[in-house]
Amino acid sequence: HFVTAPLSFLWVYGNLSVYMESYFRFGCRSDCLTSDREWILSVYMATSCPGILLTKMLTDRLGLKWTIVAGAGLVNLCLFGSVWTVQISQACTTFLLGCVLGLANGLTQTACFQYVTAWAPDKSAILMATTTAASTTLSVVQNQVITTIVNPENVRPDVVEGSRTYFSQKNVLDKVPVAFVTYAGVAFSSLQATLYMDDMNSPSTTHTELEPTDKSLKPVEALKTPVFYALYLFVLAIYYALALKANFYKEFALLYIKNDKYLTLCGSLVPVVASIARLVVGLSISNKVTTVKTAIVFSLSGNCVLLSFWYLAPQVSPALYMVFILCLAAAQSLCYVLVPVACAEVFGRTHFSTNYGLALSSLLLLGFLAPLVISSLMQTLGWQWIFQSSSMMCAVALVLVV
């Protein structure tokens, strides 16, 4: 849990990116801004898939412990390196926080999943839920610390360009690199925690005496099952919605809610609700109260309905927007439990990392198409249709999964 806690970039990015985009536009060098910031998160999600697929090869050669050490070390290098890149180039920052950090995150988290399934296979659902909840829980503190450092006086964004808002105040922009130092410093603890882990072998050779009848599907066999394609569509739809929330929950709301600290509070509560939702679903699956398919249908249905009303929520009241974002976070966060649990239970643990990586391979498609789609919709149809596009994608996935 201490190792996975700093893997919170997805949950911190929505808050951090508002300041980062303003810094690239007004506080950095004139040639610093080179692309849309949507690319950072999209590339991050896309490259997590190759990181997942690399896990089996590395664990076979290094063992689980040293694979996790390598992944956690790379995460730390990326975050400390971003303190420098954010001051010189958006392209360099996209490469470091998008390509390299995504790869390291996928590797580290999947190796931790394997560690959990090897350590306690009978409780894998609830332990995967608590493992993924660790990073979201830490981000509660990280989001508050970042806003306290960058915008302690709660000043409003003073520049509006089209449908976007920015901070140009020097007292805000000058503190953005300091926020990156703090964020990286917190993550350094994960590297220390890895040294206290037991050096396990691959899960396929652990606890075999407890599960003599465990049947594991090879990747080529998993690709032939309907479950694989249901997971593929589920990941594609939910991660697109999740990317929109992570990128825009704060930026879009600033058009109607002129309170930066309030929106940071909303973002800080998101991980709390997301963690609770994961724990409830993990317990429900472990205790046979519900099934993975039922939870997937619930997640897709909830996202489909909620995304339809995103455009209106902040215009009604700040309180309603907070409730809306928290409900959306709960519905989206289930994918972090459902996909690995489904892969472990349906496909088996011997080829877990490879099958899990294939199930998430839709992120490669999403990572490189989403910024193009979002940018095109933003320039032509506006916010409403960005949100509706995600709602419709969830609806299509729901029909095909059911």
| Residues near 70 by beta carbon (within 8 Å), at least 6 away in sequence | 58, 62, 107
CA atoms of 94 and 90, how far apart (whole Å): 6
**Measured in whole angstroms, how far is the alpha carbon of residue 363 from the centre of its chain?**
11
Residue at 245: amino acid letter = K
Question: Is it the case that residue 18 has pLDDT exceeding 90?
Answer: no
Question: Is it the case that residue 205 has pLDDT exceeding 50?
Answer: no
Q: What pLDDT sits at residue 304?
A: 93
Residue at 314: amino acid letter = P
Q: What pLDDT sits at residue 395?
A: 93
Local structure of residue 350 (DSSP, 8 states): T
Contact 211, 121 (CB under 8 A): yes
Q: pLDDT tens digits, residue range 43-55? A: 888 888 888 788 8
**Quick check: helix, strand or coil at residue 165?**
strand
Helices (H), 86-199: 90-93, 101-119, 124-150, 170-173, 176-194
Weakest-pLDDT range from 191-200, 232-241, 263-272, 382-391: 191-200
CA atoms of 164 and 160, how far apart (whole Å): 6
Q: Where are the domains of the chain?
A: 9-195+214-401
Model pTM greater than 0.85? no
Q: What pLDDT sits at residue 338?
A: 87
Q: pLDDT tens digits, residue range 73-132? A: 888 888 888 888 888 878 888 888 888 888 888 888 777 777 666 655 555 556 666 666
Question: Is it the case that residue 356 has pLDDT exceeding 70?
Answer: yes
Q: Which residues are paired to 160 by β-bridges? A: 165
- The burial of 293, by beta-carbon neighbours within 10 Å (0-12 exposed, 13-18 middle, 19 or more buried), is given as middle
Question: Is it the case that residue 147 has pLDDT exceeding 80?
Answer: yes
- So what's the architecture of 9-195+214-401 in CATH? Up-down Bundle (1.20)
Q: What pLDDT sits at residue 125?
A: 57
CA atoms of 59 and 324, how far apart (whole Å): 41
**Average pLDDT, stretch 359-385?**
83
Using CA atoms of 379, 382, 385, 386 in order, give the dihedral in degrees to the nearest 10: 70
